[in-house]
Amino acid sequence: MKSIFTDKNNEPTAHDLEQALGGSAQIWKNLEMFAKECAPKASAEWKFTGEKYGWSYRVKDNKRILIYLLPRDQYFKAAFVFGPKATVQVIDSTVSEAIKTELLDARSYAEGRGIRVDVRDISNFEDLKKLIVIKISGS
């Protein structure tokens, strides 16, 4: 599934994002703020990754991407890539079994295992915060 923002020549604005995400826009902002609080040197940027995927937003600390935020129609996906050590930390954590299962089922690449979590409401916000903390811990 691709981003709701597909025009390479128009980087999404804060207004565009609020219109597209509706009620989940505040959750997006809170996740970004949380990541930046945990990693004070973190920065965020929009990236156009091609016609197939459209625009995505990433929060990164130095060269490591902490979280990808992928805008959809009235919701977004939070995506992470975890290396082997971080994968073990996620499995040993208190995040939901659904997230653990998705991570274990994900194909393993050189950079790690990737997962995408649908964010439509606040229900998985605490799990997402835990995933950010694990990602920042550097494992």
Q: Which domain holds residue 24?
A: 14-136
Q: Is residue 3 part of a domain?
A: no
- Whether residue 6 is contained in a domain is answered as no
Q: Is residue 28 part of a domain?
A: yes
**Percentage, residues of the chain above pLDDT 90:** 87
Q: In what order do the strands lie in the sheet with 76-82?
A: 43-48, 55-61, 64-71, 76-82, 112-119, 108-109
- pLDDT tens figures, 37-74: 999 999 999 999 888 899 999 999 988 899 999 999 99
8 located within any domain = no
Evaluate whether residue 99 is within a structural domain: yes
pLDDT band at 138 (very low <50, low <70, confident <90, very high): low
**For residue 1, is pLDDT > 80?**
no
Contacts for 17 with CB less than 8 Å, ≥ 6 apart: 25, 28, 71
Q: Provide the CB-side half-sphere exposure for 54 (13 A, CA).
A: 13
pLDDT for the residue 62: 83
Does residue 2 form part of some domain?
no
Q: How far is CA 3 from the centre of its chain?
A: 13
Give yes or no for residue 3 having a pLDDT over 60.
yes
106 belongs to a structural domain: yes
- Say if residue 14's pLDDT is above 60: yes
pTM of the model: 0.93
What is the predicted pLDDT for the residue at 63? 80
In a domain, 79, yes or no: yes
Is residue 63 a contact partner of residue 52, using CB atoms and an 8 Å limit? no
109 forms bridges with which residues in the sheet? 112
Q: Read off φ and ψ for residue 112, nearest 5 degrees.
A: 130, -160
Is the pLDDT at 139 greater than 70? The verdict is no
The answer to whether 54 and 48 have CB atoms below 8 angstroms apart is yes
Per-residue pLDDT, averaged over 99-108, amounts to 95
Domain count, the chain: 1
Q: What single DSSP character describes residue 11? A: P
